[in-house]
Amino acid sequence: MKRTEHIQTALPHTASTSEKESACPVIAVLIPCYNEEVTIGKVVSDFRGALPCADIYVYDNNSKDRTAAIARTAGAIVRNETQQGKGNVMRRMFADIDADVYVLADGDDTYDAASAPNLINELLQNNLDMVNGLRQAQGKEAYRLGHRAGNMLLTGTVRKLFGDRFLDMLSGYRVFSRRFVKSFPAIAAGFEIETELTIHALELRMPTAEIATPYKGRPEGSASKLRTFHDGFRILRTIAVLLKRERPLSLFGSACVLLATAAIVLAAPLISTYFETGLVPRFPTAILASGLMLLGFLSLACGLILDTVTHGRREMKWLAYLQHPACRADGWPTPFDLPAAPFASRAILAPQSVPAAALAVERLPNEAGMNVAELA
């Protein structure tokens, strides 16, 4: 009897029509925190009001104040990550937490929790893997001039090198599908993790969108952890590393062109003199030009080899991505009856590639008075 029960529980469960109509995806709100006791209570409360069916996780990153205690009192699930840095915290969150939809935000009360249902609707209705919150500053203090200029520079660099599908690469307010989170190989340790998230989506050509959201200034008594120049250089270094890792032929091919051009410029007078007199008057220059040309072809060979390796890695990442079912809207009703998103830039929809498996779902509580409408 026990064996029969065990076999029955192991079989995939096919949800009936009535179950689908009353079910909603499992939503997890992820909030990495470091010394945010001034704001974390309000952040948890706001997300609880905006997403009453969601589990709210606060990961404390060695805070020296009462961040963890206040978050726990506000009703969040509090966990700790001892390795310092936002990237380390996000790697731990993505590994530990199972959900269908993930909402990522900061604990500094700068992001608008009321926009979360809109972002989730965009994700579910269009079968996307990531929706990026495009920050719209609500006042001069919300988005300092140095941070704005740095974001424009870094985002512009990524748009030029990897694709122009995002206007705010460094936004910390995003919504992800399960297949994105569980296939994302987080490497970065600090704030450069947002760069990795963006380039991961661009390189795998995932279906994404970007929606404008309000961006508020920090309340009095709350201090930013971002160091403009230090973190800006770290992000630039991350872009360079990812360019080498994801676009090696472009990088080493460009180096080959530069080296070969320098070699030709140096060698041109020597060749002309040789044809006129039959002599090579400047041996050091000839040796330098030869060395530069050899380095150029060596760089091209490295680019070709690494490009083959990169294609293999990209195929493996795509297969890991396909192992997880898509977060399809036709399996669930829209959990939030809201108007369409006010802004969506170039949402690229990918074809459905694998059938959706049976996922764990929770029933949406109706006490909040929300109208659950079934998607066509």
Domain positions in the chain? 26-246+321-363, 248-314
Burial of residue 302 (CB within 10 Å: 0-12, 13-18, 19+) is middle
- Looking at residue 198, what is its pLDDT? 94
Range from 3-12, 81-90, 106-115 carrying the lowest mean pLDDT: 3-12
Distance CA 338, CA 365 (A): 17
* Cα→Cα distances 53→47, 62, 123, 362, Å: 10, 28, 17, 8
**Segment 178-197 mean pLDDT:** 91
Which pLDDT score, from 0 to 100, does residue 329 have? Answer: 59
Of all residues in the chain, the percent with pLDDT exceeding 90 is 53
User: Residue 355: which residues within 8 A CB-CB, separation 6 or more?
Assistant: 325
**128 burial via Cβ count (<10 Å: 0-12, 13-18, 19+):** buried
Q: How confident is the model at residue 247 (pLDDT cuts 50, 70, 90)?
A: very high
Q: Tokens at residue 321, please? A: 């991505």
Rounded to 5°, the CA angle 93-372-118 comes to 50
Q: State the pLDDT at residue 50.
A: 94
Q: What is the pLDDT of residue 86?
A: 92
pLDDT class of 361 with cuts at 50, 70, 90 = very low
**Mean pLDDT over all residues of the chain?**
80
Q: What are 198's two structure tokens?
A: 């963006």
Beta carbons of 196 and 120 less than 8 angstroms apart: no
> Is residue 191 over pLDDT 50?
yes
Please state, in angstroms and rounded to a whole number, the distance separating the CA atoms of residues 246 and 105: 27
Task: Name the band, by pLDDT with cuts 50, 70 and 90, for residue 28.
Answer: very high
- pLDDT 10s digits, 160-176: 999 889 999 989 999 99
CB atoms within 10 A of CB 58: 26
Second CATH level (architecture) for the domain 26-246+321-363: Alpha-Beta Complex (3.90)
